[in-house]
Amino acid sequence: MKIASELSLQEKLHILADGAKYDVACTSSGADRRGRKGCLGNAVAAGICHSFASDGRCISLLKILLTNHCIYDCKYCINRCTNDIARAAFTPREVCELTTEFYRRNYIEGLFLSSGVWNSPAFTMERLCETLYLLRNVYHFNGYIHVKAIPGAPDELLAAAGYLADRMSINLELPTGESMKKLAPNKNHNMILRPMRMMADTIAQHRLAAGKSAQMERSRSNRYLTGSIFSKERLEQTGRVAGNTQPAKTQGTKTYALQKMGKTEWKQPFVPAGQSTQMIIGATPETDYHLLRTTQYLYQNYDLKRVFYSAYVPLNEDGALPAPDTPVPLLREHRLYQADWLLRFYGFSADELLSEQRPNFNEELDPKCDWALRHLERFPVEVNTAQYETLLRVPGVGPKSALRIVQSRRYGKLDFAHLKRMGVVLKRAHYFLTCDGKMM
């Protein structure tokens, strides 16, 4: 094996892109920033995809590890210290040059920088910060940056990263303490949830200082949905307060703003695209119900912008893991994403979709159809009069088509041909709709 210093940039890129690809977060969304003279880059709220890899997943960011050296031994991870694999590390300048040169050629929308735990969490986080500092201030990069928060890193370093990045994420990976003990023996939930809480509170305070609401922006559709998990009433039930008030602080937590910073720094953007996390699907026995409830809990209590699911890909042989030939649970992952969508855009909550008695999604039906078939008493709904909220529950109707229906029916009666042109998928929807009292 070559020693690290002999590796070419291309060999390093191979090793460090290979080690980063199992993190599924790929979006470049949530930040909106105009370009600036003398700088390179801007950010577009909806995010931009730049290519699609052979597995069909979108490539938006240059997703790499700073290093795959790691002192920890998470069983499922290719980079764990007990694996005998080629190791490498980028210098901060190499990361900056790759990012800016790729960006200028429009290969990518920005950087996703993760890392193994190199020497110590503090050492690693410091190298990450150094890299981002260089990228922003010397290379004048104004595009999107997503950076990992390393569990166990000092608060000041996490805060420093928060002023440089658009999004930060710290992966929960396993939703229960037992699973975590078994598969990630060097970590525990507290090491993940504590920084997540502090990031959440710090983000909220910066948002308030900038004259925004404490809570992250959500899809526009949520404004018209009374039962949405982000509605004021629902958030109040969780003890987190919505709207223009101070974020509720859990006892004993503080926020990250650096001590030495004056008042004005509160106005600086701090993780403007919010936090995200990911959970591994299928390495441990949790049910879909458990995963979806955890997702909802994270949205409501930590104001996470996204929760990602990563179907478990067997990389290591280990008694604690599923057998190496276990198929990748792609369909299960897909169903969870569909359900996540229903939470974020359609006003559903986890308990409407699953329960202790029905803890897993139907393989054959998507969660929305499945829900509709269990609630036939609510259908059909009349297109020309039904509330936005009710229309959104119809299989085949999405937030856009529902909005178009509500807007255009003010000026005249709608029929099925109109619906089709508005983007309603009639193949599914027609069982659940009437137009002027008539079925299709």
Question: Given the rule CB under 6 A, which residues bind ligand SF4?
Answer: 70, 72, 74, 77, 79-80, 116-117
Residue from 107, 120, 232, 374 touching another protein (CB under 8 A): that is 107
Residue 352: name its binding partner from ligand SF4, another protein, none (Cβ under 5 to 8 Å by kind): none
Nearer to ligand SF4, 69 or 240 (CB): 69
Site for another protein in 153-212 (CB under 8 A): none
How many whole angstroms separate alpha carbon 425 and alpha carbon 420? Answer: 7
Residue 440: name its binding partner from another protein, ligand SF4, none (Cβ under 5 to 8 Å by kind): none
- According to the binding rule CB under 8 A, does residue 102 interact with another protein? yes
Q: Which of 317, 291, 294 is nearest to 304 (CA)?
A: 294
Site for another protein in 34-63 (CB under 8 A): 34-42, 48-59, 62-63
Non-local CB neighbours of 105 within 8 Å, separated by 6+ positions: none
How many whole angstroms separate alpha carbon 224 and alpha carbon 376? Answer: 23
CB 382 within 8 A of CB 404: no
Non-local CB neighbours of 86 within 8 Å, separated by 6+ positions: 1, 2, 15
Site for another protein in 62-91 (CB under 8 A): 62-64
Minimum Å gap between C-beta 394 and ligand SF4 is 42
Residue 13: name its binding partner from another protein, ligand SF4, none (Cβ under 5 to 8 Å by kind): another protein
Residue 34: name its binding partner from another protein, ligand SF4, none (Cβ under 5 to 8 Å by kind): another protein
Minimum Å gap between C-beta 415 and ligand SF4 is 55
Minimum Å gap between C-beta 176 and another protein is 25
Nearer to another protein, 41 or 274 (CB): 41
How many whole angstroms separate alpha carbon 440 and alpha carbon 426? Answer: 9
Nearer to ligand SF4, 108 or 172 (CB): 172
DSSP states of 228-255: -TTSHHHHHHHTPPPSSSPPPPPTT---
Residue 14: name its binding partner from ligand SF4, another protein, none (Cβ under 5 to 8 Å by kind): another protein
Nearer to another protein, 365 or 422 (CB): 422
Q: Which of 27, 230, 254 is nearest to 146 (CA)?
A: 27
Strands 51-52 and 58-59: antiparallel
DSSP lists the bridge partners of residue 381 as 433
User: Angle, nearest 10°, between helix axes 330-345 and 288-302?
Assistant: 40
Nearer to another protein, 63 or 75 (CB): 63
CB 224 within 8 A of CB 347: no
Q: What is the DSSP letter of 89?
A: B
Nearer to another protein, 102 or 123 (CB): 102
Minimum Å gap between C-beta 47 and ligand SF4 is 25
Minimum Å gap between C-beta 304 and another protein is 24
Where are the extended beta strands (E) located within 13-109?
51-52, 58-59, 61-65
Nearer to another protein, 23 or 303 (CB): 23
Give the 3-state secondary structure of residue 425. Answer: coil
Minimum Å gap between C-beta 438 and ligand SF4 is 57
Kind and range of the H or E run holding 307: strand 306-311
How many whole angstroms separate alpha carbon 228 and alpha carbon 234? Answer: 7
Site for another protein in 347-406 (CB under 8 A): 404
Encoded tokens for 342: 């229903």
Footprint of another protein (CB under 8 A): 9-10, 13-14, 17-18, 20-22, 34-42, 48-59, 62-64, 98, 101-102, 104-107, 143, 311, 313-314, 328, 330, 404, 407-408, 410-414, 418, 421-422
